[in-house]
Structure formats: structure tokens, C-alpha cells
Chains A and B, each alone.
Chain A
Amino acid sequence: MGLYIGDKMMKYEEWSKLAIKVSKASLWMLHFCTGCGAIEMPPVMTSRYDMERFGIAPMATPRQADVLLITGYLTVKTLRRVIQVYEQMQSPKYVIAFGSCTINGGMYWDSYNTIKHLEKYIPVDVYITGCMPRPEGIINAFIKLMELIDEGKARGWEKYQKYYDKYKENQRRVFNFEIEGENEEY
């Protein structure tokens, strides 16, 4: 194993005003197209809703991205990949979760193989309600995220570092096997 190597603890306060301003204005996203929500991404990117005007651009890999979009329900198998991708992103990093599936399981509330509360496994900064959220909702979520960054409230990545053991504990419970690596840094 030995995959998950986290980042050093980083204080939000160490961050300069300018850095907050620029990081707010250029959110690069990695759309992890899991559930139904992926279908809402093309309209958001293309001419009708055009998210690029806010400086939001799609990226190909987690190394380059700032925002992870979880577009819908997650099976246990996918969750493993999501966590891997999330840990490969560079802080500061944010998570936006789509739809009721990520909040409480949505219409899969009694399914045996999906996870019900995404919050338990990775820290979510912004939720979008709805099944499925409209593109306006997605853009709204990004604006909200920008506000949160500005106010210093989008601290999911910090939370993840702080409560790393707890998150790992939860993750381990779903996977039923050891996924933790040598993580002295967390």
C-alpha cells in the first residue's frame, strides 16, 4: 500500500491577502464524473452558462486542480478513487458536492453499495442541493465557494489534515480493509 502521503499542516492565517484574492479568482476544477451530475457540466462550461468568465477552468489532473467536483452518488469502489485523487491535489483545495446523493444518500438512501454521507470521508466545502442541480446552481456554488474563500471559511483541506485519523477511521470502516499508508506527516 503506501499511497497516501498527505501534506504538512498549513495554517490558513499564514496566507497573504493577495494570495487569497488570486486563488479565489482562478479556481481550476477537476470534475470527477461519478453520478448523474456529469451531464450538467458541459452546459456550465459551454456558451450558455460559460463558467470561464469567473476564471474557472477544467483541468485534466488533480495535481493541477484546486476544486474537486463530486458530481453525484459515490459507490464504495469509486470512493476509493475519489480519496486517492483528493489526496493528490495540492492545498489549498476545495470540494464541491452535487445533489442530494452526496448529502444523505438521496434516492439511493437504502442502497448497499453507495455511501450516504460524503462529509464523513472527505471534507466538503459547498453542497449543491437538488436532484439534479441546475447549471445555475453549479455556478452559484462556485460563487459561494469564492465568498467562503474570501471570508476564510473554506477550510476543508485544513479540517482534513486536522482530523486525518478520524477521516481515515471512517474510510476504513467502509472499505473493510487497511488503506492507510505511512503517514507521519498528518
Chain B
Amino acid sequence: MDVMGIAIKVALLTAYAVIGTCVGLLFMGIGRKIIARVHNRVGPPFYQNFIDVAKLLSKKTNISHGWIFDLALLFSISGILLTLLFLPIGGVQLLSMEGDAFLVLYLLAIPALGFALGAGASGNPNAGVGVMRALVMMLSYELPFIITLIALMIYYDTTSLATIVRMQSINGVKSWAITMPPFMLAAFAADMALQGMLMEQPFDIPVAPHEIASGPMVEFGGKYLGSLMLYKAIALVAETTLFVDLFLGGGVVAHGNFAFVINFIVWLALIFLLFILSILIAASFPRFRIEQAFGFYWKYEAIIAAISLIWVYILVIK
């Protein structure tokens, strides 16, 4: 690759990193508004989360518990940006040709682990409990998610997200995975897993503010909390995009001129819809206990996912 090509690529990646952050913060604000409307409240302005982050980053004083605590800040933002850039977004491949879905799964663990390290380093017992819950949640929701992922992979005979998106966009909406009956089941299971990934109610067990004082975040304030909010915003975009890439053809509907713009808008609409869905679920359910969440994912969701996997397997073998 020549210098120009690299420069364009870097500019594109930076642009998408910025877009991802802004979209995430915007969505979080809109989500708060929607929850407020469900509660019959007015709610904050939709740009509230930008203000919150700006305020946190402009705090005069910050407290750290040592260099391991700082890893939370460093790894959470960088890890989640890295994950975002390895996803195809609205038909733009970004770096997704250099890795695949497994890589994305493991990249998602980098910010989580950094966050967990920082939380643990504070020494607060609430943080320890919170991280434990977060990890148990991870073990819970990953099982159905992994099974659906494998179903998709063996159907399309690839593990590359870019290829999965390409194969689903051949005939526009008609070739999206979700139009096939087995993948409808899978998408249901994966959407529930997404709810856990986003840590929305009923699966906001790790951060339960009233039980364990917001869990891992208990000692985070100022720039640390601000960076975690950024992380959460980008994670929201990355995780919904992962779902869109897997089941909704990455939002790719158009080819040719201006396809880029159309696909971008469709992608934005799709992740917005997914987010609204999860917000509405969140607004109407109370919190599970951790064992209940584990049972929910490993019993019901895993069985649904397994049915879809077996179904797909039979289709593929034939």
C-alpha cells in the first residue's frame, strides 16, 4: 500500500471512531429520553450524555488508586475502539478483512478485562462483587451467542464478518439471514444475548446501583468515569453493529452510486431500532438475580440457539 492509501485508511478509521463515539452518546441520550417517556416523564434533552461526558472530563480533581487503576481508562477506550474498527459498518469494511468474528469476540474482552482490572485495583469489595457478576453474566450470555454465531458460520462457511455481510447483501433485504426461519430463532436468542451484552435491564446485574453501589464503577469518578461512559457509548454501537452484521446483512441494501450513503443510513436506522428494542425491554422489566439470568441463558436461550444450530446443520449437510 502506498502512503496515500494508508493516509486515507487512517482518516477513514479515525472518522468511524469519531462517528461511533458520537452516535453512541446520542443514542444513550435518546435512550434516556425514551425511558423517561415510558415512565411518563419529560426526560433529559437528547444531547444530555455529551454534557455528562464533558462534565466528567472537566472535573477539577480525580482520584486514582494506582497504576493498575489507570489501566481501566487506557484499555477500556482503546479496546472498544479497536473492536469497533474490526467490524464492517454499513458495508464499509474498515479492518474487518484483517480479522474475523472470533477476533471480534476476543477483542471485546480487552476493554472488559481492563475495566475489571481497574475496578479490582481499587480494592472496593463492591467492585469485586460487581466484576464477578459481570463475568458470570458474560459466561451466561456468551453461550447462546456463540451457538448462533456458529450456526451462521457453518451456513455461510466463513468466519469473516466481511464475507458474511457480503453474502447477505447479494439480493438486498431478501438475502438477510434473518429472513430464514432457522436464523429467526437464532436472531431471537442473539438479541437476548445482546441485551446482556449491553447490560440493560433485566440484565443490569453487574452495575446494580442500589445493591452494590454501581458495582465495578464504585470508585470511578471524573475522567475515569467519563472514559467509561465513552466506552459504554462505543460498546453500544459496536455490539449492535455486530448483531446487524450477523443477521441484518450489515445494513447493506444498495449497490452502485450513493450506495455508501444509503447503506450508512440503513445501518444507523438498524442499530437504532435494535437499541430502541433493548431500551423498551429495559424499561419494562425489573432486574433478574444472577442465578436467574444464568439459568435463563443456559436453559432457554441456549436451547433455542441449539435448535437453530441443528436446523442449520441439517440444511448444510443436505
Asked if A and B touch directly (CB within 8 angstroms), the answer is yes
A residues sitting closer than 8 Å to B (CB atoms) are 7-8, 10, 15-16, 18-19, 22-23, 25-26, 28, 46-47, 50, 52-55, 57-64, 66, 88-92
Question: B210 to nearest A CB, angstroms?
Answer: 8
Q: For residue A30, give the distance in angstroms from its CB to the closest CB of chain B.
A: 10
**Which A residues are in CB contact (< 8 Å) with B52?**
26, 28, 55
Contact A47 B41 (CB under 8 A): yes
Find A64's partner among B40, B61, B217 (CB 8 Å cutoff): B217
Bound CA span A57–B44, Å: 10
Contact in complex: A47, B40 (CB < 8 Å): yes
Interface residues of B in 40-69 (CB under 8 A from A): 40-45, 48, 51-52, 54-55, 58-63
Known: A26-B55, A47-B39. 20 other contacts (CB 8 A): A10-B61, A15-B60, A18-B54, A19-B54, A19-B55, A22-B54, A50-B36, A52-B44, A53-B42, A55-B52, A58-B209, A60-B210, A61-B214, A61-B221, A63-B221, A64-B220, A90-B60, A90-B222, A91-B59, A91-B60
17 interchain pairs (CB within 8 A)?
A: A7-B60, A7-B61, A25-B48, A26-B51, A46-B39, A47-B39, A52-B42, A53-B43, A55-B48, A59-B214, A61-B213, A63-B220, A64-B217, A88-B63, A90-B61, A91-B61, A92-B59
Complex contact A64–B55 (CB within 8 A): no
Identity of the chain B residue whose Cβ is nearest the Cβ of A45 in the assembled complex: B41
Which one of A50, A59, A88, A91 lies within 8 Å of B41 (CB-CB)? A50
User: A63 to B65, alpha carbons, bound, how many Å?
Assistant: 12
List the B side residues contacting A57 at CB < 8 Å: 44
Q: Please, how many angstroms separate the alpha-carbon atoms of A55 and B50 in the complex?
A: 11
Contact partners of A50 in chain B: CB under 8 A: 36, 41-43
CA distance A28 to B48 in the complex (A): 12
Could you say which residues of chain A place their CB within 8 Å of the CB of B58? 16, 18-19, 22-23
Q: Are A64 and B221 in contact (CB under 8 A)?
A: yes
Chain B residues near A25 (CB-CB < 8 A) = 48, 51, 55
Are B61 and A63 closer than 8 Å at their CB atoms? no
- Given known A-B contacts A22-B55, A26-B51, A53 and B44 have beta carbons under 8 A apart: yes
Q: For the complex, give the distance between the alpha carbons of A16 and B221 in Å.
A: 20
Q: Which residues of A contact B61 (CB under 8 A)?
A: 7-8, 10, 90-91
Complex formed: what's the CA distance from A92 to B218 in Å? 19
Interface residue ranges of B214-258 to A (CB < 8 Å) = 214, 217-222, 225
Is B133 part of the contact surface with A, judged by Cβ < 8 Å? no
B60 and A63: CB pair below 8 A? no
CB distance from A28 to the nearest CB of B (A): 8
> How far is A148 from B197 in the complex, measured between Cα atoms in Å?
41
How many angstroms between the C-alpha atoms of A63 and B63 in the bound complex? 8
Q: Which residue of B lies closest to A92 (CB)?
A: B60
Taking a contact as CB atoms under 8 Å apart, the answer to whether A60 and B60 are in contact is: no
B55 proximity list for chain A (CB < 8 A): 19, 22-23, 25-26, 66
CB distance from A16 to the nearest CB of B (A): 8
Cα distance A26–B51 in the bound complex, in angstroms: 6
| Contacting residues of chain B (145-183) with chain A, CB-CB under 8 angstroms | none
* B51-A55 in contact (CB<8A): yes
User: Most chain-A CB neighbours within 10 Å: which of B48, B60, B209?
Assistant: B60
A117 to B: closest C-beta gap in Å: 27
CA distance A90 to B59 in the complex (A): 7
Type the 1/0 row for B254-270, where 1 means its CB is closer than 8 Å to any CB of A: 00000000000000000
Task: Name the residue among A46, A54, A64, A92 with the largest chain B CB count within 10 angstroms.
Answer: A64
Cross-chain contact A60 with B209 (CB below 8 angstroms): yes
- State the CA gap A53–B33 with chains docked (Å): 9
Residue of B nearest to A49 (CB): B41
Which residues of A are found within 8 Å of B44, using beta-carbon distances?
52-55, 57
When C-beta atoms are compared, the residue in chain A nearest to B209 turns out to be: A60
How far apart are A136's CB and chain B's nearest CB, in angstroms? Answer: 15
- Minimum C-beta distance from A147 to chain B (A): 17
